[in-house]
Structure 1
Amino acid sequence: MAQKKSTKTKTERPRESADSGEIFLDKEGRWFHQGEEITHQKTIELFSRSIVKDPSGGYRLQIGKEWAKIQVEDTPYMVRSVELCKDQIKLILNDNSSETLDPRTLRIGKDNVLYCSVKSGEYPARFLRPAYYQIMQLLDQDDSGFFLKIGNERFQLASQKESSG
């Protein structure tokens, strides 16, 4: 009697790459592997768009079924440039994606570094110098601190002390 083959497929769990070594993303958006800077542009682009939260905390690269934990010096995403479009601000991120800034998430951190939330509020992003200078041109300041005015709305920037907790 012939046996029927099972049509059920086993769901494979992603597996950690055994030879990933230490992969590090610095605060300026530069990638390193075992202390050496990664300069291959296609690798940088692949890594930048493959960042996900690790279930045990921190971040990892998820490429297909393979994954590797990464060390992130500051934030997993960086804002490379800023563009004012009508009544919104467009952000270009280090993964080459673009999205509209949620101005309520703007905050000033230690050493006056500017941050916001990206990817539907799921991830923090640090403004790199060019983007920082671009958005600073759009900010105003009064006795209550820095604010951004978009259309008829005013958005106060939180400081690190106000936004932590």
Structure 2
Amino acid sequence: MPYDPPPHLADLSLAQIADLVAQRKLPPVENWSPAKSGNSDMRIAADGRWFHQGGEITRPAMVRAFSSLLRIETDGGYALVTPQERLSIEVEDVPFIAVEAQIRGGSIAFRINTDDLVIAGNDHPIEMRSYDGAQVPYLLVRSGLWARCARPVYYDLAERALEADPDNPGLWSEGVFFALGAAE
């Protein structure tokens, strides 16, 4: 079955974005406790690229499929999980990158590098973290899995936040205020 990525966020209404978010059904990896475990020989680089045995996985559909099996373990490590097997995977920073953001009607919608869509709010907070010597916003995608905002996304959000209130830069989404100043 061919994979068709969703259209760009700029082309969608908030209702259409919410519908696409609701349609994405992920496997219940948090409920699976497979007996067999091992190492996947996979790595997610800090820039969001996926690698297997040193070679980059370039097929977006493969990355999307693997990302749906990803979970964070209680020890802070990451694993790809199926009902039969749990394979560790190296993650250099966080598993996802927020590559696009749109603000519509009091909500901030993000597209993740795996083409998942996330709307910031109580269940998907934004927090500032230190990365590569700078304060950068991170978005909770799901179940302890975070996305770092790509530089253009962060610059756009920061510009909007500074326009709204230069003394207390931040943005509202789904009734929640997210400060975009330096982390305390």
Which TM-score applies when normalising by structure 1?
0.71
- Give the % identical residues: 27
1:60 to 70, 76, 79: 79
The structure in which a higher percent of residues are helix is 2
CA offset digits 1:89-113 (Å, max 9, x no partner): 1111233221211385331423233
One-letter identity of the residue aligned with 1:37: E
Distance across 2 between alignment mates of 1:60 and 1:35 = 18
- Residue equivalent to 1:113: 136
Runs of 4+ in structure 1 off by over 4 angstroms are 149-154
- Partners of 1:49 and 1:125 lie apart in 2 by 14
Counterpart code for 2:107:
Q
Structure 2-normalised TM-score?
Answer: 0.65
Shift of 1:13: 2.6
- The change in CA–CA distance for 1:138 and 1:63 in structure 2 (over 3 A counts) is farther
Q: After TM superposition, give the deviation of residue 79 of structure 1 in Å.
A: 1.1
**Is the aligned partner of 1:135 residue 2:171?**
no
Aligned length: 147
Select the structure with the greater relative contact order (CA < 8 A; seq sep ≥ 6): 2
1:6-17 aligned within 5 A: 13-17=34-38
Q: Which moved further from structure 2: 85-94 or 147-156?
A: 147-156
Q: Which of residues 171, 180, 183 in structure 2 aligns to 1:148? A: 171
Amino acid at match of 2:151: R
Distance in 2 (alpha carbons) for counterparts of 1:128 and 1:59? 21
What is the one-letter code of the residue matched to 1:98? L
> Could you list the per-position Cα deviations for residues 129-165 of structure 1 after superposition, in whole angstroms to 9, with x for gaps in the alignment?
3422432342216345x322569975423534x2xxx
Bigger mean CA deviation after superposition, 133-142 or 67-76: 133-142
Q: Cα distance 1:156–1:118, how it changes in 2: closer, same or farther (>3 A)?
A: same
Report the Cα offset of residue 74 of structure 1. 0.7
The Cα shift of 1:12 comes to 7.6
User: How far is 1:53 from its partner?
Assistant: 1.3
Contact 1:76 1:123 in 2 (8 A): yes
